[in-house]
Amino acid sequence: MTVKSFDLIQAINSRGTFITSKFCIPHLRKSKNPHILTISPPLYMGNDQVNWFAKMGTGYVLGKYAMTLITHGLAGELRDDGIACNTLWPRTAI
């Protein structure tokens, strides 16, 4: 993976998740049933975890895990506001 590709993945996945959430929060606070849903992996991928890193590439997996960590962090930060934050990881490619 090139450095340019790595930077792009981090900008889209981790930074994009953070910024999109940040600018949606004021609107979500006004909503009756606010949710943030991130398509990102569970923190523990079981025995296939090492294979997933090798198959998808460390830079890509790091970006996806960062999305999960941001979402988990926001869930704690936004709990008192009643904003639910969850991740969803399909079993197959979409």
* Long-range contacts formed by 30-33: CB under 8 A, 24+ apart: none
- At 9-18, the pLDDT tens digits run 999 999 999 9
Q: pTM of this prediction?
A: 0.86
- At 17-36, the pLDDT tens digits run 999 999 999 999 999 999 99
Q: What is the pLDDT of residue 46?
A: 66
For residue 30, give the DSSP letter. Answer: T
Residue 60 falls in the annotated catalytic set: yes
- Residue 52 CA to residue 59 CA, distance in Å, equals 12
What is the rounded average pLDDT of the residues 52-56?
74
Of 17, 38, 60, 66, the active-site residue reads 60
- Residue 94 CA to residue 91 CA, distance in Å, equals 9
Percentage of the residues of the chain whose pLDDT score is greater than 90:
70
- Residue 79 CA to residue 71 CA, distance in Å, equals 12
